[in-house]
Amino acid sequence: MTKKALIVTSDNPYPERGERLVSLVVGGFEKLILDYERCVFDEYDVYVLVWQEMGKVQLTHYGEPVSPSNLAETLLKERFEFAYFVDPDLNFEDADLILPILRSAPCFCFVQYHPNLRISDAPFKGMVTHFSRSPQNNVLILGGSYDPRTFYPRRQKEEYIVCTGRIAPEKNQLELVRGYKERIHSRYGLPLYLVGGCDVRSARDRHYFDEVSPYIDRDSVHCSADPEQPSALHSWRTSEEIAELCNRSRMFVIGSPVESFCIALLEAMACGTTCVVNGKFYGFEVGDLQPHVFGNITGARGTILDVLERALEQNIRIDASDWTKKFSLGEIRQKLMPFIRARLDRQNEPVDFVARRIEGAQV
């Protein structure tokens, strides 16, 4: 009999669209969850429990909704081999479904940074993270992942500069589009293509898109987002489409001042695309990443447009596709699964999370 695993998250890879659920990736967490479900945990029958706003929950089984009359009882009866929490924005003390899961199955948790002020280590047999200030035996430092079946070099005519990712203040597209026409397009003839839309949950992102949109003239700057419905499904592109765009671009650029581990950057690098950055990337060792990108990786200096302009002036070309292979799904799986299996062999003692929570932690 196939063993079962449960992914618990507040980032929904299967949002409702009308009367059906669709796989819609609007950020790194959604893509991470789908990679776990389809590839990393491929020895298991995987369910995904999404804890949404206002206490709404959704249980899916490979994209199909599961709607039992008693969800809590169903989750306990499934006897999951383990539960894997993905950076959950949950109130553990109030979650009637979450506490029984923590007590009934060995649980692991992925967080971007460790230690985490929101999420205590206490109820988990292991923590997985991109960056840790206090690494220990039960903490696995693990990079992001990409699918090498989709993202690999097949370079074509270089037609534009591409930037993929959610249109949002923390992604800093406004700094990129301001002056792009005058400084880049008029000089090099390379239009900018912004790939991505807004998070449907975020009014702030929508307001930011309204600031960016005046620069989208469909000549020097293009965007995949529907100007009237930037959070709509058709504003986004599939992984296959993004891989094709990266392979046809002269450079990939990302203006985020801070990233833990940017999967969009990793995917572009896997395509052999020269990548231009200007921010802090916590999830990489500085000496490991720096030779494979152009720009600043320990903090922003100047603007992203300044860095992009220098890259073009110097005719920079960097193919990091071989280097990225250590982040392919197969390699990540070989690191994560032994970490989980080693801890499944230990006796599963019930966890009193409230009593063991770290003093002062906000969970």
SS (H, E, C) 247-283: HCEEEEEECCCEECCCHHHHHHHHCCCEEEEECEECC
Q: DSSP letters of 136-165?
A: -TTEEE----B-TTTS--------EEEEES
Of 111, 150, 116, whose CA–CA distance to 25 is shortest? 150
> Does 356 score more than 50 pLDDT?
no
User: Do 160-325 and 4-143+331-356 have the same topology in CATH?
Assistant: yes
Flag whether pLDDT at 324 surpasses 70. Answer: yes
User: What is the percent of the chain with per-residue pLDDT over 70, rounded to a whole number?
Assistant: 89
What pLDDT does 247 receive? 98
How many residues are recorded in the chain?
363
CATH fit for domain 160-325, picks 3.30.1370.100, 3.40.50.300, 3.40.50.2000, 3.40.50.720: 3.40.50.2000
Among 2-16, 90-104, 235-249, the range scoring the smallest mean pLDDT is: 90-104
The mean pLDDT value for 123-143 works out to: 92
Phi, psi of 17 (to 5 degrees): -130, 100
What is the model's pLDDT at position 20? 44
Asked whether residue 69 carries a pLDDT value surpassing 90, the answer given is no
CA distance 307 to 320: 19
pLDDT of residue 355: 38
Task: Give the per-residue pLDDT at 10.
Answer: 85
- 350: cis peptide before it, omega within 30°? no
Report which of residues 57 and 315 the model is more confident about.
Answer: 315
The angle formed by the CA atoms of residues 40, 129 and 293, to the nearest 5 degrees, is 90
The residue ranges of every structural domain in the chain are 4-143+331-356, 160-325
Q: Provide the mean pLDDT of the chain.
A: 88
Over residues 241-289, the pLDDT tens digits come to 999 999 999 999 999 999 988 999 999 999 999 999 999 998 899 999 9
Q: Is the confidence at residue 347, as pLDDT, over 70?
A: no
pTM for the complete prediction? 0.89
3-state secondary structure of 58: strand
**Residues 280-294: pLDDT tens digits?**
998 899 999 999 999
Report the DSSP pairing between strands 16-17 and 20-21.
Answer: antiparallel
Please give the class, per CATH, of domain 4-143+331-356.
Answer: alpha beta
